[in-house]
Amino acid sequence: MSASSRPWTFLLAPVDQGIRNVGGRPGACQAPEHLWAGLQTEDMVPESARVREVEVDNTDDSLETDLDRLSQAVADELADDRLPIVLGGDHGTTFATVRGAVRELVDVGVAYLDVHLDVRAFEPRHTSGSSFRRLIEEGWVEPEHVRALGIQTPENPEEASGDKAPFTELRAWAREQGLVVEGLDEVRQRPAWALGQALSSGVEWCLSLDLDALDARWAPGVSAPGSPRFTLEEACRAAEAARGGYRVLDVVEYSPPLDEDERTLDSCLQLLAAALGEA
């Protein structure tokens, strides 16, 4: 079974300036090229699919322009009744992906598989950890239509790091806004059910798969690897349950320079296969 009866468009978005802006390890800008090559090698690209490279400069000065180009590309493909599949890039690009969906669709929501809330402040500049706060505060999506699945409480939730707010402060903001937040342990118990439930209400869903939701055994090549997190099997079960329930898909945070023996690439391709189904 395929994810959608609509033809697929792979949008290559090589942006990782958001990671740089938060002091993370860059490299995700190289992911789209590697993922596209891997998809072709594994025969995961149907004849009806097309690929489109989003023109970006990937600098601090160009970031807002780069994000706007991605938003427009997503909107264009939706207007053409296609399924946009965004190959990022850092998680900051998800802001642009969802904004593009809102430009073309009515009543848009976003569900994301991740261990991080990514609701940090987006001023004075956008980062890989601020997509969902910005989507809410700029009015692109309603808070109750933002579903964070797999959030992990750090060992020191009260601790602030540099200009980063502590986890407890971010979690409190999310709860006050009305985001649906489910923890790592509860989602791991029933990953398919959790993601299926997240996409069950009557809005047009964007699904975002952050590779650092995977345990470092399966995904060492991400900006912020860690353990324990989702096994590859758990993540694939969740992605498969989402199949057919979303209008836009993105996969983010894969960083080829940080990978080991292409383990993260292989995991990402398996996750995409689970979410997309047969080519």
Long-range (24+ apart) CB contacts under 8 A made by 162-168 are 162/23, 164/22, 164/120, 164/129, 165/120, 165/121, 167/117
Q: What distance in Å separates the CA atoms of residue 33 and residue 31, rounded to the nearest whole number?
A: 6
**Predicted pLDDT at 178:** 96
Minimum mean pLDDT among 113-117, 152-156, 169-173, 234-238: which range? 152-156
Q: Residues 145-181: pLDDT tens digits?
A: 999 999 999 877 787 665 678 999 999 999 999 999 9
Average pLDDT over residues 91-103: 98
Question: Which has the higher per-residue pLDDT, 163 or 246?
Answer: 246
How many other CB atoms are found less than 10 A from the CB of residue 144? 13
Q: What distance in Å separates the CA atoms of residue 219 and residue 215, rounded to the nearest whole number?
A: 6
**Predicted pLDDT at 157:** 79
Q: What distance in Å separates the CA atoms of residue 196 and residue 182, rounded to the nearest whole number?
A: 13
Share of the chain above pLDDT 90, in %: 87
Q: What distance in Å separates the CA atoms of residue 27 and residue 221, rounded to the nearest whole number?
A: 9
Sorted by where each starts, the structural domains of the chain and their CATH numbers stand as 8-276 (3.40.800.10)
**Predicted pLDDT at 162:** 59
Query: Which residue has 């345990």 as its token pair?
Result: 215
Q: Residues 16-49: pLDDT tens digits?
A: 999 999 999 999 999 999 999 999 999 999 999 9
**Predicted pLDDT at 1:** 44
pLDDT value at 266 more than 60: yes
Question: Which has the higher per-residue pLDDT, 2 or 176?
Answer: 176
**Predicted pLDDT at 4:** 65
Query: Which residue has 């975002």 as its token pair?
Result: 208
Q: Show the CA angle centred on residue 241, arms to residues 77 and 264, nearest 5°.
A: 75
Judged on CB neighbours under 10 Å (0-12, 13-18, 19+), 50 is: middle
**Predicted pLDDT at 58:** 97
Average pLDDT over residues 75-95: 98
Q: Is 253 helix (H, G, I), strand (E, B) or coil?
A: coil
- What is the token pair recorded at 116? 């991080």
Query: Which residue has 């020191």 as its token pair?
Result: 156
**Predicted pLDDT at 279:** 66
Q: What distance in Å separates the CA atoms of residue 228 and residue 196, rounded to the nearest whole number?
A: 23
- DSSP alpha helix (H) spans, 123-190: 131-137, 167-177, 184-189
Q: Residues 192-225: pLDDT tens digits?
A: 998 988 898 789 999 999 999 999 999 999 999 9
Please, what is the end-to-end C-alpha distance for the chain in angstroms? 9
Average pLDDT over residues 88-104: 98
